[in-house]
Chain A
Amino acid sequence: MALFVFWVLISASFEWIHLGLGLVFSFAVAWINSGHSLFVPKFRLWLRILLYLPWLFYKIIESSLYLSKLILHPALPIDPQLVSVDSKLRHHAAVVLLGNSITLTPGTITVEVDSNKLIVHAMDKVLSEDIESKQIESKIADIFKDEEPDL
Chain B
Amino acid sequence: MTTFFFYVMVLLAILIGAYLYRVLQGPTIFDRVLGLNGISTKAIILFIVIGTYSERVNMFIDISTGYALINLVGALAVAKYLEQKGLP
Chain B interface category by residue count: under 10
Report chain A residues within 8 Å CB of B58: 12
How distant is A132 from chain B, measured CB to nearest CB, in Å?
Answer: 26
| Closest CB in chain B relative to A6 CB, distance in Å | 10
Q: How many residues of A contact B (CB 8 A)?
A: 2
Q: For A76, list chain B residues within 8 Å (CB).
A: none
Closest A residue by C-beta to B62: A10
CA distance A69 to B22 in the complex (A): 21
- Residues of B near A12 (CB, < 8 A) are 58
In this assembly, does B65 line the interface, its C-beta being within 8 Å of a C-beta of chain A?
yes
- Proximity string of chain B (48-88) to chain A, C-beta cutoff 8 Å, 1 when within and 0 when not: 00000000001000100100000000000000000000000
Task: Return A127 CB to nearest CB of chain B, in Å.
Answer: 19
- Give the contacts of A1-33 with B (CB-CB under 8 A): 10, 12
A contact set with B: CB distance below 8 Å? 10, 12
